[in-house]
Structure 1
């Protein structure tokens, strides 16, 4: 933010210094001080546009969006030629995520002040945020021309070309800068060598691996990131099928013998194929001898061995792991169960251990009991697993394991899982809570217990369980802490629990909180556009940008989004649910008489009022009992005035609101079957028949035997037949893709 006011509205020397203080206070997030300084200037100069703009920016950052825009418009009215006012206007639009308007304001500000580095920087950051690579290239060229002596400007321009797909130009930019250096950079110059490694990455991504390898070999001795150099070089050698790749990965294994990717690449470099069983067995035997403490070279042969050889290797491996008492033994083994013969052999071996434990090397009875306990625990997990499920046997082994060691958290946990699979959510929750009580300092079992309680719709109990590992300092109590920590799994389970109970207000509240968390993760990029370049961590920055491009591919998002759309569909189909969850048990309005509906509505409203009063009392009591210290309060952070999601529930257009979730869901998670199911349901109800057809076709492609396909086809045929406003063009598209629907 430029602190120099434009001509025409000059301030006195004292007020100009005060204005610079306003800018500094804003940049340091000292908003109260900034407002105070701004008010002092406006007392003497009530129409000073730049001060009004800065005041608008401060109050806008504190959440007073409408007032901020009104004041910013007043400031512009007072001085339309102030680049500060236009810059602030752009920042306000950026805060409300109206990025196109923000870019227009920035560009107008740049016309007034072409040399302003802050405005140019903010424009560039917004362009890369929106992945406008052409615009970003132009902005970075302008910044480089203004200050060619700063390395960051060269690196940023290279990134702009690289992300835009122009690898050659990106490489040229970095090479040109290197040629301007008069002295050789020291080995301790991390920024330079990171840029060199980034240049190497650009060369490799352009497809010229030979050139990338030659470049790396020329600089490798001076680069301080030894691990990065070794991994990159080994990768190039492997892709180029050079024999040196074997030694390269052997060196990496010496440094870290627990990295599974190194083993895979080492085997590939030796030219060993999956059908070369003897060669693979010999290679892993050598590795097991070289790294006696590593588990992977002993476990990996189980993937390719068959028959008696598999039995022999599995017997030795399982004995070793069960004697050591490794809790993750079953997790390591279960992927073998896709092969039914291997599953049967493992079952036979471990059942044999349970019937007659193998001889001990010494007569230590404690070790014998330990081996027996681990064997029973393994079998309980084995019979719990979906590919080898026998819940009665699983329960039997879990009980035997508990009888042998009552203090075993794992044994109680596997019993709880068995009860869950049997469909007894209440008993599963109770048993998992018993497991948690055995070790109250274990965060993992505490988390599992909270999840089981939510699956049993014990929302208050789950929150109390989760609160044992939260600070409980924020105004929202434990739930506020979970929101602060962005604990998506808890919010998802809580929301799905409320959805099952038809408490749609609370369900929608949780799902919108998750949507906001993903938006925050996306907006967090703004913090790194400048920071990463300043610190020189370029490769990590580029990886972060690419990761952000696939942010909503994650199952965390798809699960929450599908459930949110289901909630909105439920609300659309039964609008009475806006009056409370009790309306779900009384059927739809068409199935009830007027008197019964009136009675049910009255009861539901009373129940809803009780819930609201209980929530208000709870929050007031928590605030009185444990007020939030000033040190823990954040400037501009407002208390949630709608904890029950009443505003979300009272929407007049539930299907339109559902699109906030459905649009990104179908864009980023098209291969999720449930996404296509809820997409079809929404588009059918909105009579968007072309989009509904697309969802039906995609679902058919994903799972031709899906249980809902036939019903959807019937609905589509009926809808297309009765659709009046269906254009000829739409009919042609549907006929080309799914002509059977129009027969």
Structure 2
């Protein structure tokens, strides 16, 4: 290092390196300036100064100095290494790898560069290169434990687990018999468990079990030892031994559901479909009865039988399970039992059971068959459960009656208001739901969860400004946007983005969706530090799991929602370009080609200049806040707070394609992925790719109305195309002609016949009828009246009768809203839309969209009745369901009055 420098300057160069490693950046700069004063063209010093400046957030100067240093000394491995470090800090990993490889050509045995290169190869999943680099490190330094482990992990990642086992065993052969010392026992035990998991992965089960027993004394984590042992026993078919071990594990943790599942598997009583014969149910009942006597305090041993019991036995077990939890007042009881609602008949039994308990408490003060009186709170939690039960079943009137009675019983319980808010949201009154959530929030201003739930309700009601003010209560220094972004608060950004999209603010919506995408990029980046840490700390099993998790990261729901939202924004932007962009294009389009190019170059330069000025201004304002190390604590300036620049893309569909590719790679089994692909590629006129999307939709769900629409639209569009002229067009035409008969829906049928057949098959479904009607209009616009009649002839088949307030049907609120939009926009018939709205008002009286009679969409009559007539102060307010005097006593009448006036406006 610091070659060709005199002794004094060479020592100063070492000071620069030490200062960089210890983050004493000002000291390092001082030493660098001292060298450069005498040797201004010394390449390695220039590079190190640039690297130091990079750590002080002076990137432009850093790159300039590092490039100058490399130019002055192209044959220095230090300059190339520093250049790689600079690229690495900016996540330019491929460029960094190139720099490291250039450095290794000059100094092929440099262990530090090899180690840095191996970390980047692991990050980029260049597993072949990772194996090669790790082998070189092991060859150069075979007495270092981390090099052996890294070489083994590299082979494991390269799908060669057997080779990894050989390497670990070779490493163990270099150890002494009394290894490990006390301070390394945990790390060595983890390495042994990792080796045994590799044997299991390779199918060497007997060898793995033998090795596990042999090394028992050296494995510190005894719980992991037992869990690994029982897995091997079950896989080897040694079920009796496995059963004993699972019972031992249950004695350690009787609330671990995985242990119960394993015990059932050992006894041959595990079914993934939860379908058991009567004999199996009897055996399971006996098993859990004995376990219940053994672990009387375990909730799992009481809850699990509810999944497999039926009829009277289910009712008895549910009764025994529910009674003490209602008495204790467990708010999460309904969440605990909600999976049972997917089992046929169990929801009816639970309803009957809870209603009997309610009746008994009301009449006798206690549970049926008991003389002891229950505390008054038992009735409260009974009503609380019933409200959620009726909400789950879509009986919103009854649910509201129950929750209002619970609030009247004990008006200080916050959970009651949260549940009432949820019921109103499901019923379609989003404004009232937000008001109730805000009331719950005001009852405990220190509860972050309730605050978050309130913010979510406000965003669902498109009250974005109010949601931001509420969210800011729990952010640092009142900095709402930056703080929530720094915390990677993705639920907020998704809900906010969806709200902006509904309101037509594509700029802000895109900004929120792309922020979520950026979080996933940050999560991917965050794994970098663990490549070295996990090998050093020997957390190898967790490390490999983390890498597998990272490989599937973009398949998670939040990313799928964010990418889908961004694509929808770009498609809408393409269909309806923003006004400013359209005007700008209109001005430029009249210019000659050469002037167009100059104009666009000027625009780009002006934007870059404005950005640089903002950065300089920001740096100056934060200069006083520099830390001792010289690094400024600079908050990034948001140059586009409203997302206006995001809308000024030249090709929205090209931007959308970037996110579509990620969805196609990581979420190929999602229907939405291929729906978006179809919409995007039809606009791009990429016929064969759109055709592939149609095939994927039919593969996933051929009976889905969206799949049917895409199929009909595609072949209708193809049929309307002019005759092929070019060779490419002829080839595409030939492919489509050959493929069309393979679709059973279209085989020897016209598109109209296929559409009619789809109606015959799914005539009872509202959304299927709507899809058929839309396609009928697409195929033949003259049949618009027939298409509308198809929708209006839909019947809302009644599935139950609400004992309190009328009928309950199969139609879902969101489906009816979608049909209303279809009538008003795509079918363009306002009269039919009005008729549909009037019809849906009867079925959804709480829906603000349909302006139902019980919704807050028309609150003036009820409000005026309370406000103008003092004798009606006991009447309930349409937003909250509370009496006007209670609202006034809480100091909220003025607030509600203002919100109601806003609604009227």
Correspondence for 2:468? 463
Correspondence for 2:686? 688
Determine if contact 1:140/1:156 at 8 Å carries over to the other structure: yes
For 1:52 and 1:283, the matched residues in 2 are separated by 75
Please give the secondary structure, in 2, of the residue aligned with 1:185. Answer: coil
For 1:451 and 1:25, the matched residues in 2 are separated by 48
Correspondence for 1:530? 532
Determine if contact 1:53/1:75 at 8 Å carries over to the other structure: yes
Pair 1:382 & 2:356 matched: no
Q: CA shift at 1:738, angstroms?
A: 5.1
Q: CA shift at 1:31, angstroms?
A: 4.6
For 2:32 and 2:735, the matched residues in 1 are separated by 60
Q: CA shift at 1:159, angstroms?
A: 0.3
For 1:251 and 1:628, the matched residues in 2 are separated by 59
- 1:341-356 equivalences in 2 (<5 Å): 341-356=345-360
Correspondence for 2:651? 653
Determine if contact 1:432/1:448 at 8 Å carries over to the other structure: yes
Pair 1:262 & 2:259 matched: yes
Correspondence for 1:144? 138
Determine if contact 1:31/1:635 at 8 Å carries over to the other structure: no
Q: CA shift at 1:61, angstroms?
A: 5.3
Task: Describe the shift of the 1:220–1:420 C-alpha distance in structure 2 as closer, same or farther (beyond 3 A).
Answer: same
Q: CA RMSD in A?
A: 2.8
Correspondence for 1:135? 129
For 1:346 and 1:479, the matched residues in 2 are separated by 45
Give the alignment partner of residue 514 of structure 1, picking from 504, 513, 516.
516
Pair 1:309 & 2:313 matched: yes
Task: Describe the shift of the 1:91–1:186 C-alpha distance in structure 2 as closer, same or farther (beyond 3 A).
Answer: closer
Pair 1:233 & 2:229 matched: yes
Q: Deviations over 1:353-386 (max 9, x none)?
A: 2222273598886x4321111111111111111x
Give the alignment partner of residue 440 of structure 1, picking from 431, 434, 445.
445
Q: CA shift at 1:502, angstroms?
A: 1.8
Pair 1:371 & 2:368 matched: no
Task: Describe the shift of the 1:552–1:433 C-alpha distance in structure 2 as closer, same or farther (beyond 3 A).
Answer: same
Q: Deviations over 1:491-526 (max 9, x none)?
A: 111111111222222211122221111111111121
Correspondence for 2:77? 83
Task: Describe the shift of the 1:727–1:167 C-alpha distance in structure 2 as closer, same or farther (beyond 3 A).
Answer: farther
Please give the secondary structure, in 1, of the residue aligned with 2:376. Answer: helix
Determine if contact 2:152/2:163 at 8 Å carries over to the other structure: yes
- 1:212-611 equivalences in 2 (<5 Å): 212-242=208-238, 243-273=240-270, 274-275=276-277, 276-357=280-361, 359-360=366-367, 367-385=374-392, 388-472=393-477, 477-576=479-578
Task: Describe the shift of the 1:733–1:97 C-alpha distance in structure 2 as closer, same or farther (beyond 3 A).
Answer: farther
Task: Describe the shift of the 1:732–1:284 C-alpha distance in structure 2 as closer, same or farther (beyond 3 A).
Answer: farther
Determine if contact 2:292/2:301 at 8 Å carries over to the other structure: yes
Structure 2 stretches lacking a partner, 5+ long: 271-275, 587-616, 751-905
Determine if contact 1:578/1:649 at 8 Å carries over to the other structure: no
Range with bigger deviation, 708-717 or 283-292: 708-717
Task: Describe the shift of the 1:41–1:696 C-alpha distance in structure 2 as closer, same or farther (beyond 3 A).
Answer: farther
Task: Describe the shift of the 1:252–1:375 C-alpha distance in structure 2 as closer, same or farther (beyond 3 A).
Answer: same
For 1:459 and 1:672, the matched residues in 2 are separated by 30
Pair 1:52 & 2:46 matched: yes
For 2:85 and 2:729, the matched residues in 1 are separated by 43
For 1:519 and 1:405, the matched residues in 2 are separated by 47
Structure 1 stretches lacking a partner, 5+ long: 584-588, 590-619
For 2:193 and 2:73, the matched residues in 1 are separated by 48
Task: Describe the shift of the 1:519–1:329 C-alpha distance in structure 2 as closer, same or farther (beyond 3 A).
Answer: same
Determine if contact 1:127/1:135 at 8 Å carries over to the other structure: yes
Determine if contact 1:18/1:37 at 8 Å carries over to the other structure: yes
Correspondence for 1:599? none
Pair 1:679 & 2:681 matched: no
Range with bigger deviation, 691-700 or 29-38: 29-38
Range with bigger deviation, 544-553 or 18-27: 18-27
Task: Describe the shift of the 1:36–1:707 C-alpha distance in structure 2 as closer, same or farther (beyond 3 A).
Answer: farther
For 1:102 and 1:427, the matched residues in 2 are separated by 55
Please give the secondary structure, in 2, of the residue aligned with 1:548. Answer: helix
Q: CA shift at 1:95, angstroms?
A: 3.9
Pair 1:201 & 2:197 matched: yes
Q: CA shift at 1:570, angstroms?
A: 1.1
Please give the secondary structure, in 1, of the residue aligned with 2:674. Answer: helix
Range with bigger deviation, 156-165 or 58-67: 58-67
Determine if contact 2:48/2:82 at 8 Å carries over to the other structure: yes
Range with bigger deviation, 652-661 or 371-380: 652-661
For 1:577 and 1:416, the matched residues in 2 are separated by 39
Range with bigger deviation, 684-693 or 244-253: 684-693
Please give the secondary structure, in 2, of the residue aligned with 1:368. Answer: coil
Please give the secondary structure, in 1, of the residue aligned with 2:112. Answer: helix
State the aligned residue count.
690
Please give the secondary structure, in 1, of the residue aligned with 2:75. Answer: coil
4+ residue runs over 6 A deviation: 361-365, 627-633, 740-743
Determine if contact 1:62/1:637 at 8 Å carries over to the other structure: no
Task: Describe the shift of the 1:180–1:630 C-alpha distance in structure 2 as closer, same or farther (beyond 3 A).
Answer: closer
For 2:692 and 2:55, the matched residues in 1 are separated by 42
Determine if contact 1:302/1:310 at 8 Å carries over to the other structure: yes
Correspondence for 2:174? 180
Correspondence for 1:613? none
- Name the TM-score, length of structure 1 as normaliser: 0.87
Task: Describe the shift of the 1:47–1:734 C-alpha distance in structure 2 as closer, same or farther (beyond 3 A).
Answer: farther
For 2:248 and 2:42, the matched residues in 1 are separated by 67
Please give the secondary structure, in 1, of the residue aligned with 2:704. Answer: coil
Please give the secondary structure, in 1, of the residue aligned with 2:705. Answer: coil
Correspondence for 1:609? none
Determine if contact 1:498/1:504 at 8 Å carries over to the other structure: yes
Q: CA shift at 1:13, angstroms?
A: 2.9
For 1:505 and 1:65, the matched residues in 2 are separated by 29
Determine if contact 1:506/1:645 at 8 Å carries over to the other structure: yes
Determine if contact 1:62/1:636 at 8 Å carries over to the other structure: no
Range with bigger deviation, 139-148 or 566-575: 566-575
Give the alignment partner of residue 666 of structure 1, picking from 664, 667, 676.
664
Q: CA shift at 1:534, angstroms?
A: 1.4
Determine if contact 1:157/1:173 at 8 Å carries over to the other structure: yes
For 1:534 and 1:514, the matched residues in 2 are separated by 32
Q: CA shift at 1:336, angstroms?
A: 1.3
Correspondence for 2:761? none
Range with bigger deviation, 703-712 or 491-500: 703-712
Q: CA shift at 1:468, angstroms?
A: 2.7
Q: CA shift at 1:729, angstroms?
A: 5.7
For 2:290 and 2:34, the matched residues in 1 are separated by 78
For 1:639 and 1:19, the matched residues in 2 are separated by 35
Please give the secondary structure, in 2, of the residue aligned with 1:677. Answer: helix
Task: Describe the shift of the 1:647–1:71 C-alpha distance in structure 2 as closer, same or farther (beyond 3 A).
Answer: farther
Determine if contact 2:677/2:690 at 8 Å carries over to the other structure: yes
- Name the TM-score, length of structure 2 as normaliser: 0.72
Determine if contact 1:187/1:224 at 8 Å carries over to the other structure: no
For 2:224 and 2:730, the matched residues in 1 are separated by 58
Q: CA shift at 1:634, angstroms?
A: 5.8
Task: Describe the shift of the 1:29–1:430 C-alpha distance in structure 2 as closer, same or farther (beyond 3 A).
Answer: farther
